[in-house]
């Protein structure tokens, strides 16, 4: 058990590293335009609460918790880009802070805890999703929180902490269904622990979690209306890309150090049964969600790089553990080198060109359109980012009726938009590209 002084030190270390993560998340937070999914989530917040709950639990079940937090946040603040993204910065920074405390508690090492926190704070995947109004930073936070609560429950040997774990685990599934895979992975630690009381309490906690998660199960079984139909069939390339993305966009040094860390966790656990369950917990957190996702994908494709953000903290822990085995001085020096390399990838994220530059595309149309020109999004389901950025009326009918019509669309939709224009008696007379977003000027043909 930690003394009061050790708890204060852990709190200060956690807060310090979390502050670093928050600063990295705040840099250039509003530089990028909202992309389609961000704009859709913001657009949802304009709905009445009844309709909003329907959307959250009948259409967007895998981000219901995030949506329930986003609406009151927007109501209290504004819909500016950096404001709607700010909660994600807080979630990511909090994940870093809790990971520091978790690392110290698991391995009785400030080097492992602080190292893991810093590695997560400078992971390009973590930083990039902390700067987007989506649920992934929240899912990452809750994957760390449920793991910390699991450790607390095992160490306490009391039912109360296990009930707290069960409640949070059940709620966490609504941040993203992949958090459920993290919860499932923790069973391996119990098998290694081999404590009858812990297994009994875990069964009670799991039952409570499953009860809370019943609406999520109902959503998966009966309300799948094609939300993941866009995910491609399982392939080696997709799995490789997902792992690469989780590692921060590089095959070196984090994946290599992480692989070494996995080996060391197993080797060090064999002669020390008292810590074996801790090692098994971290290793399974890193590996099992991916393996389960691959297995599920044979029946229903589920491999998407950002979904594996729930295991990114585990990768940071495993890598920090591997570095700690070098000894304090050498480990600290190696950690600095790895952090510098990680920050280089973060810098590349800050400098990366716009992808879906809806802001510039819509502003261009607002500047160029004449009185009487029609403004459309094509297809109509692209209306959310157009409405977000424009000062004009947007017609979502997909029915051009004026002499000239401006259309904003995705690059992948341009051929379809051109065919649609021709079928409705128009021709494309001008095209402008803004990253993946294109503006088309349609002019009515003379009959």
pLDDT over 70 for what percent of the chain?
A: 99
- Residue keyed to tokens 């409405």: 387
Structural contact between residues 187 and 146, judged by C-beta atoms closer than 8 angstroms:
no
Q: What mean pLDDT is predicted for residues 48-57?
A: 94
Determine the Cα–Cα distance for residues 414 and 440; give it in Å rounded to an integer: 8
Determine the Cα–Cα distance for residues 117 and 100; give it in Å rounded to an integer: 5
pLDDT band at 175 (very low <50, low <70, confident <90, very high): very high
Strands 437-444 and 404-410: antiparallel
Select from 127, 133, 106 the least CA-distant residue to 40: 133
For residue 248, the model assigns a pLDDT of: 86
Strand partners of residue 404: 443
Tokens (6 digits) for 142: 């809750």
Q: What mean pLDDT is predicted for residues 231-256?
A: 88
Q: pLDDT tens digit string along 262-301?
A: 999 999 998 888 889 999 999 999 999 999 999 999 998 9
CB within 8 A of 396, min separation 6: which ones?
A: 376, 377, 380, 383
For residue 1, the model assigns a pLDDT of: 60
pLDDT over 90 for what percent of the chain?
A: 86
Determine the Cα–Cα distance for residues 137 and 195; give it in Å rounded to an integer: 33
- Residue keyed to tokens 């984090």: 254
What are the b/e assignments for 188-211, b being 16+ CB within 10 Å?
bbbebbeeeebeebbeebbebbbe
Q: pLDDT tens digit string along 20-38?
A: 999 999 999 999 999 999 9
Tokens (6 digits) for 193: 């622990």
For residue 225, the model assigns a pLDDT of: 67
The DSSP letter of residue 439 is E
Determine the Cα–Cα distance for residues 270 and 292; give it in Å rounded to an integer: 25
Determine the Cα–Cα distance for residues 369 and 349; give it in Å rounded to an integer: 33
Q: pLDDT tens digit string along 378-405?
A: 999 999 999 999 989 999 888 999 999 9
Phi, psi at residue 19, to the nearest 5°?
-65, -40
Averaged pLDDT of the chain = 94
* CATH-assigned architecture of domain 358-444: 2-Layer Sandwich (3.30)
Say if residue 447's pLDDT is above 60. no
Determine the Cα–Cα distance for residues 105 and 113; give it in Å rounded to an integer: 8
Structural contact between residues 356 and 437, judged by C-beta atoms closer than 8 angstroms:
yes
- Prediction pTM value: 0.96
Residues of the chain with CATH 3.30.110: 358-444
Determine the Cα–Cα distance for residues 110 and 93; give it in Å rounded to an integer: 18
Determine the Cα–Cα distance for residues 224 and 262; give it in Å rounded to an integer: 36
Burial of 246 (0-12, 13-18, 19+ CB in 10 A): buried
For residue 273, the model assigns a pLDDT of: 82
Structural contact between residues 173 and 180, judged by C-beta atoms closer than 8 angstroms:
yes
Helix, strand, coil % (nearest 5) of the chain? 70, 5, 25
CA 237 from chain centre, in angstroms, equals: 21
Determine the Cα–Cα distance for residues 95 and 93; give it in Å rounded to an integer: 5
For residue 396, the model assigns a pLDDT of: 86
Say if residue 2's pLDDT is above 80. no
For residue 4, the model assigns a pLDDT of: 86
For residue 221, the model assigns a pLDDT of: 73
Strand partners of residue 395: 376
Burial of 386 (0-12, 13-18, 19+ CB in 10 A): buried
Side-by-side strand order, sheet with 374-377: 374-377, 404-410, 437-444, 426-434
């Amino acid at each position: 058990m930690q003394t009061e002084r050790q708890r204060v030190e852990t709190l200060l270390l956690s807060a310090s590293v979390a502050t670093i993560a928050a600063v990295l998340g705040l840099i250039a937070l509003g530089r990028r335009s909202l992309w389609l999914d961000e704009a859709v989530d913001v657009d949802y917040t304009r709905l009445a609460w009844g309709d909003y709950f329907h959307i959250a639990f009948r259409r967007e079940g895998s981000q219901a918790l995030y949506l329930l937090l986003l609406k009151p946040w927007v109501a209290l603040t504004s819909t500016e880009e950096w404001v709607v993204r700010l909660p994600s910065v807080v979630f990511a920074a909090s994940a870093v802070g809790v990971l520091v405390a978790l690392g110290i508690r698991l391995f009785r090492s400030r080097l492992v805890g602080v190292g893991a926190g810093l590695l997560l704070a400078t992971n390009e995947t973590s930083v990039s999703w902390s700067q987007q109004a989506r649920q992934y930073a929240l899912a990452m936070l809750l994957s760390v929180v449920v793991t910390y609560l699991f450790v607390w429950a095992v160490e306490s040997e009391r039912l109360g902490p296990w009930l707290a774990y069960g409640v949070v685990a059940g709620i966490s599934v609504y941040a993203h269904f992949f958090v459920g895979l993290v919860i499932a992975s923790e069973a391996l630690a119990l098998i290694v622990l081999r404590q009858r009381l812990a297994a009994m309490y875990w069964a009670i906690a799991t039952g409570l979690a499953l009860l809370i998660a019943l609406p999520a199960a109902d959503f998966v079984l009966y309300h799948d209306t094609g939300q993941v139909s866009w995910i491609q069939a399982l392939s080696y390339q997709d799995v490789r890309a997902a792992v690469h993305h989780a590692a921060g966009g590089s095959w070196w040094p984090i994946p290599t150090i992480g692989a070494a860390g996995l080996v060391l966790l197993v080797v060090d656990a064999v002669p020390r049964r008292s810590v074996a369950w801790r090692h098994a917990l971290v290793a399974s957190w890193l590996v099992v969600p991916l393996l389960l996702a691959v297995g599920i994908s044979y029946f229903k494709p589920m491999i998407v790089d950002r979904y594996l953000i729930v295991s990114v903290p585990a990768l940071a822990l495993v890598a920090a553990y591997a570095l700690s085995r070098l000894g304090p001085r050498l480990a600290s020096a190696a950690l600095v080198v790895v952090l510098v390399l990680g920050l280089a990838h973060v810098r590349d994220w800050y400098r990366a060109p716009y992808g879906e530059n809806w802001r510039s595309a819509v502003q261009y149309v607002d500047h160029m359109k004449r009185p009487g020109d029609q403004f459309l999004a094509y297809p109509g389901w692209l209306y959310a980012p157009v409405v977000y950025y424009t000062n004009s009326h947007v017609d979502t009918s997909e029915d051009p009726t004026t002499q000239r019509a401006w259309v904003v669309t995705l690059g992948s939709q341009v051929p379809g938009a051109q065919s649609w224009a021709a079928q409705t008696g128009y021709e494309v007379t001008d095209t402008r590209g803004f990253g993946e977003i294109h503006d088309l000027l349609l002019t009515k043909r003379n009959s």
